[in-house]
């Protein structure tokens, strides 16, 4: 009877991650734990490849690309992007300046394995999205998203070697005419 119970217990765990107690009393990773993707993989990121496109005439002449391998800075940027999209701003009608700023497109890697892709629109009302395993999380960067990711623009500028993108602050008032 005990053998049957153990067999069912083993089958019940199929497809799920089983945490075991480590020496410190917390879960310990094993060699059989599958690699993560998306925001769960921030600490696995070793590189990021970024394309920046300035959205002003002439459009084709304003592209910049960089691949960055400093894991500490790569993980800081990845963490800030994930912090923003996991604390989405409330959807509301906003006045966004017609700022033809820069849009960044990037991919985070663990060696050659893709962990996630992102976009960051540093213009008008800033927007960010992170996509992994076919799922996209996106938000405008104000309110809770901006509070959760206060170093997003600075971390991106550190990697791209460009000035910090401007930060738009929503204007919640209407000017009487």
Identify the CA nearest to 141 among candidates 123, 161, 117.
123
Three-state secondary-structure class, residue 58: coil
CA distance readout (Å), 21 to 6, 16, 17, 18, 35? 19, 16, 13, 10, 20
What tens digit of pLDDT does each residue of 23-73 get?
444 444 445 556 788 999 999 999 999 998 876 665 555 667 889 999 999
DSSP 8-state class, residue 42: G
Task: Compute the residue count for the chain.
Answer: 177
The overall longest dimension of the chain from CA atoms, in Å, is: 82
What tens digit of pLDDT does each residue of 70-109 get?
999 999 999 999 999 999 988 877 777 766 778 899 999 9
pTM: 0.69
Domains of the chain, residue spans: 36-160
Gap between the Cα atoms of 170 and 95, Å rounded: 7
Predicted pLDDT at 123: 79
What tens digit of pLDDT does each residue of 109-157 get?
999 999 999 999 887 788 999 999 999 999 999 899 999 999 998 999 8
């Amino acid at each position: 009877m005990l053998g049957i119970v153990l067999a069912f217990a083993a089958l019940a765990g199929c497809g799920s991650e089983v945490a075991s107690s480590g020496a410190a009393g917390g879960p310990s990773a094993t060699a059989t734990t599958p690699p993560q993707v998306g925001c769960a993989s921030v600490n696995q990121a070793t590189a990021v490849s970024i394309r920046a496109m300035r959205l002003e005439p002439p459009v084709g002449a304003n592209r910049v690309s960089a691949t960055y391998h400093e894991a500490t800075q790569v993980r800081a940027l990845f963490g800030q992007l994930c912090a923003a999209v996991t604390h989405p701003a409330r959807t509301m009608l906003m006045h966004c300046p017609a700022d033809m700023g820069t849009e960044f497109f990037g991919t985070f890697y663990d060696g050659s394995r893709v962990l996630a892709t992102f976009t960051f629109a540093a213009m008008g009302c800033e927007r960010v999205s992170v996509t992994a395993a076919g799922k996209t999380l996106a938000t405008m960067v104000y309110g809770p998203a901006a509070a959760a990711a206060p170093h997003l623009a600075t971390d991106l500028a550190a990697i791209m070697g460009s000035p910090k993108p401007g930060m738009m602050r929503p204007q919640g008032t209407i000017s009487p005419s």
